[in-house]
Copies of this chain bind each other. A is one copy, B any other.
Amino acid sequence: MKYSTSKENYIKAIYHLEQEDPVVSTNALARQLATKPASVTDMLKKLNEQELIHYEPYKGVKLTDSGNKLALQIIRKHRLWEFFLVEKLGFGWEEVHEIAEELEHISSKKLIDRLDEFLGKPKTDPHGDPIPDAAGIVPKIEKRCLLDLPIGVSADLISVSNQSADMLDLLRHHQIEIGTRLKITNRFRFDHSLQITVQGGPPVTISEQLAAHLYVAWAKDETD
């Protein structure tokens, strides 16, 4: 059960795309992996051979159970390494994705379980995404998009669904990070922008695009 870096990247990409749409298209994969559709088709045939995916020409692709298991192992490694890089080595959360993209392919199972232990078995990575455990179980994290937060209700930032340097730069400008308490004080119909308070500070305005990538947790009956 040892797969190439390339195959592992395909499996992980299919896993992520399945979250949006349960059947993944060749083009979507090509876009995600920055490769060409023809190359994707080639690879899908091989992954199908190895029973990591269900694939029929023109019909799109789905992970098999073993494909899913593999995807979760890779994601576990990715997120644990990201946590290590931020918590132990002091990297910024926008720098770690690229490095973890390499580290996630280190094969030793023992390594990753020891690392997990060393890090104190964290539940989420620096971007707030859940870390699957050794058995591949993903901790369920209750979160809703900031866009859906009612006015006047306080909530904590749990995760961000975009990790580009530009996006994280903007967050840093607003002094928002994972764990920061947010409250919507006003909504503007025209552009759907939001006025919010950050950590109880003065109100600031953020765009709908930004808010769409912020996920928060709040108790439903909690008023403040």
Contact = CB atoms under 8 A, between A and B. Distances in A.
A114 B91 contact: yes
Contact of A106 (B99, B108, B117, B118): B99
A102 B91 CA distance: 22
A99 B108 CA distance: 7
Interface string A48-90: 0000000000000000000000000000000000000100111
B111 A85 contact: yes
A103 interface: yes
Contacts of A90: 114
Interface in A121-138: none
A110 B96 CA distance: 11
The size class of the interface chain A forms with chain B is 10 to 19
A180 interface: no
A205 to B, nearest CB: 35
A108 B95 CA distance: 11
A116 to B, nearest CB: 10
A115 interface: yes
Contacts of A88: 118
Interface in A150-171: none
Contacts of A114: 89-91
A61 B85 CA distance: 39
A103 B85 CA distance: 14
Nearest to A103: B106
Nearest to A88: B118
A32 interface: no
A207 interface: no
Contacts of A95: 110
A94 to B, nearest CB: 13
A107 interface: yes
Nearest to A115: B89
Interface of A: 85, 88-91, 95, 98-99, 102-103, 106-108, 110-111, 114-115, 117-118
9 contacts: A85-B111, A89-B111, A89-B115, A89-B118, A98-B108, A99-B111, A102-B107, A102-B108, A106-B106
